[in-house]
Structure 1
C-alpha cells in the first residue's frame, strides 16, 4: 500500500513540470505540433500535422496519438504533451466525432476517412 504523503509529494513535484499554455485538445482535432530536434549543435523546430486519434490522460504522462497521411501511407506518432521537446501545439480544425478512439480511420482510405468539421 502506497503512503498518501508519498502520493502528494509525487504530485507536487510533477505539478512544477506541467505546461500551462496548452490548448483544449479533443479527439478528431487536426493539430500542428512543433517538435524540437537537435542536429549536431543546432536546434530547430519540425512541425508534425495530423488528426488526433486517441488521448490518454494521467497528469504529466498525458499522451496523444496523431495520424497523418504521407504519400498514401498512414503514419502515427505518439506525443507526450508535457515533454520539453514539444515546442508548440496549435489546433487547426475541429471535427465532430462520436468515439473516444478513432482507430477505425486506419482502415479507411481517401474521402472515406474525412471527418465532419465543426465551427466554433
Structure 2
C-alpha cells in the first residue's frame, strides 16, 4: 500500500519548480474568483520558511508594504 502511494506522489510532483531559500524575494500569482469573474493576483514577499514534504511541501512569505 505504501509503495503505491509513493509511486503516485512521484508522478504528481512538478519537476520544473525553481529553487529558492529563506531570504529570497518571490512573486506568487494566484487565481482569485469573485462571483463569475476570475483574475490573476500577484503577491510579492520575502521567504521566511520552507517545509519540504514532497506533495505536501509549503513555504511562507512575508509581504513588505511601504517598507514595513
TM-score range, shorter chain: 0.7 to 0.9
Q: Give the drift of 1:16.
A: 2.9
TM-score (norm 2): 0.83
Q: Who wins on radius of gyration, i.e. which is larger?
A: 1
Matching of residues 65-76 of structure 1 within 5 Å? 65-71=60-66
Q: Structure 1 stretches (4+) deviating beyond 6 angstroms?
A: none
Aligned to 1:53: 48
Unaligned runs of 5+ in 2: none
Distance 1:69 1:41 in 2: 30
Distance 1:44 1:18 in 2: 26
Aligned to 1:19: 14
Unaligned runs of 5+ in 1: 1-5, 74-120
TM-score (norm 1): 0.50
